[in-house]
Structure 1
């Protein structure tokens, strides 16, 4: 009975609302992202260079806009209203892509709208952290379960995206995404709380805990960039590697991605459960070590069964850094959950930009195996940088004179 009552307390309506919002926003994003390159090449009719340019501009704009809005969100205003604004912009962006096929319009207006819309997810996690802290809930497990909703969304979203786009057209697919964002607006408006800002001690001014002024944050950011560079290089290169080098069926690439995404969910939940026992730093080091072994395995193991088994290492790598990594950023920037979460998501965006350049250059110059040797090297560098980052940053109360 005691365990049942404890479970009932955990299933608070606000808690469930955060889960639902993160899942719905994740599904809406997972509907649009997988088919975007196909949309640009088939519907808009542009060459591969212009497709790549769109991704690069989108990532760069997303970093700039998210940093600007994150700083404002931590200093003033209601974070919930900012999330609502971003979701409304996401609706406008989806409608634009549904009915517009002019490349310059999509680059100019679409990139701006997309970059603002992309701020919604880190701000949802920042609001969740503030709610967990203010209501004395377990922040790490709370965030881990929310992050698992994103993985679940990416298990469901991509197949659904291709099914709608190929059977009913891209206009229908983008309109479905717009409807999902509209549902998110309703959920946020009626269920998510407005959390008052926590007061930070005067002993540590807020300007002193900005990311770039702290050595630990700089090292963790660079380490995170390299982690996500490794992962994105693998995502870009793996379908080509499997078909052109290993001679395996094309559909195996989708199967491997699905296996990894499915395994990430229990990994995230277990990581959230045991992080207080083992600590964020040791668990992140374990994750990066598994990542290094994964990329090493890709160089030497080429069979279908071996590649499927290797996905367990990949799931441990991504499942931990995606959940615990964000918490580590937040704990190193107390009082700045919006900036910390945005810095974490910007490390992902920066990794995506680097991965696109590095994967293309390495594969074209040295072959696909070189991509995984480089990923192994970057994983080892990430391990060395993470080793030097402390567990968290505590704000000490100001002493009386």
Structure 2
């Protein structure tokens, strides 16, 4: 009697899983089409000074944090997360249309960024829905989420080259309209294929919060992940200029290094997801910290083109585990709050970017690009302290 319902539901589960994978990929593509070319867009199309470009990134991160945290708490308490993702995709498409035809800096910053913050929130909310769906259907949540993260990484492997090809070959209007199209396709798939996981009415006396010790550990994990993403942001900002201006290596090497790391992150995420249950998420996050420590020591001491490429394996372990396991660790520490946990993890990337963006240029201007990697080592040290303090669950 037990075999019949399982067989009857196998096909819908496969369709639902495929829909999650495609939505993860398309939301990743929508972001990968916009973010890599944003500074170029602001400089060449909106015609603003470099300082205003930096302010735009900082303002985007702050607005994104406010919007995503508001939606995260609301999504965990009431309503259907599927409907929220649908609306976020439509607002993301609207933001892309605004960027396609508007060239007023302040309209883009306050209206465009506000709308795009909803679009970027679709991704963490989709991961939260995937976790709830996996828990509800008895699927292996860790491996499923790791595969979803790999889809986003795959989008970021192919998205930036496509973004530059569209922007430079056909113009920014075409590029942003392509991103809008990706969001529209996402919204259709979300509405038609993703499952509804409506929240039951929560009693007013019930608080959706983790146990006190878990809240402390969640805070430590937030700091650790913020420092790790901050290191990565410092690397992305600083590395091309360091390679070209101080090491005097070929300009194309920077792009090859980023592409190599992004490609290696995909198998790293899948392997980490496979071994998470056996070794535990805390152990894997500590492995990521060790890999990051060795990677940035290597960046400080290695100046050979081929050895720098070889270092990308350590970088892939560092970011691949962080991207694949970090979010799941937050969800474990915050039971019953999948949306808040996933968004909190996502905001570590935004806070890390704010820290890196404010430090990278100042440190490089006062000292040099090489010194920035010492700052990254200091951030890794803070990560190590936090990970040691987190109790195993």
Instruction: Specify the TM-score bucket, using the shorter chain as the normaliser.
Output: over 0.9
TM-score calculated relative to the size of structure 2: 0.94
* Conservation of the 8 A alpha-carbon contact between 1:211 and 1:340: no
Q: Which moved more, 1:281-290 or 1:375-384?
A: 375-384
Aligned to 1:120: 122
Verify: 1:108 aligned to 2:107, yes or no.
Answer: no
Which of 16, 19, 39 is the equivalent residue of 1:17?
19
Aligned to 2:360: 359
Shift of 1:11: 7.4
CA deviation string 1:99-149 (max 9, x = no partner): 111112111211211222221111000000000000000000010000000
TM-score calculated relative to the size of structure 1: 0.92
Aligned to 1:66: 68
CA deviation string 1:137-186 (max 9, x = no partner): 00000100000001100000000000011000000000111111111011
SS at 2:138 equivalent = coil
Aligned to 1:275: 276
Task: Rate the CA distance shift 1:200–1:330 in 2: closer, same or farther, 3 A.
Answer: farther
Distance of 1:170 and 1:304 partners within structure 2: 33
Which of 79, 82, 87 is the equivalent residue of 1:80?
82
Shift of 1:391: 3.2
* Conservation of the 8 A alpha-carbon contact between 1:74 and 1:338: yes
Which of 164, 169, 176 is the equivalent residue of 2:166?
164
Aligned to 1:303: 304
SS at 1:21 equivalent = helix
Aligned to 1:155: 157
Aligned to 1:322: 323
Aligned to 1:139: 141
Shift of 1:366: 1.8
Task: Rate the CA distance shift 1:200–1:291 in 2: closer, same or farther, 3 A.
Answer: farther
* Conservation of the 8 A alpha-carbon contact between 1:200 and 1:335: no
Matches within 5 A, 1:31-70: 31-70=33-72
Q: Which moved more, 1:127-136 or 1:215-224?
A: 215-224
Verify: 1:234 aligned to 2:235, yes or no.
Answer: yes
Shift of 1:208: 3.8
Matches within 5 A, 1:336-355: 336-355=337-356
Distance of 2:47 and 2:385 partners within structure 1: 44
Aligned to 2:252: 251
* Conservation of the 8 A alpha-carbon contact between 2:289 and 2:383: yes
Task: Rate the CA distance shift 1:145–1:198 in 2: closer, same or farther, 3 A.
Answer: farther
Q: Which moved more, 1:352-361 or 1:190-199?
A: 190-199
Q: Which runs of 5+ in 1 are unaligned?
A: 393-401
Aligned to 2:3: none
* Conservation of the 8 A alpha-carbon contact between 1:211 and 1:333: no
Q: Which runs of 5+ in 2 are unaligned?
A: 1-6
* Conservation of the 8 A alpha-carbon contact between 1:211 and 1:218: no
CA deviation string 1:248-284 (max 9, x = no partner): 1111111000000000000000000011000000100
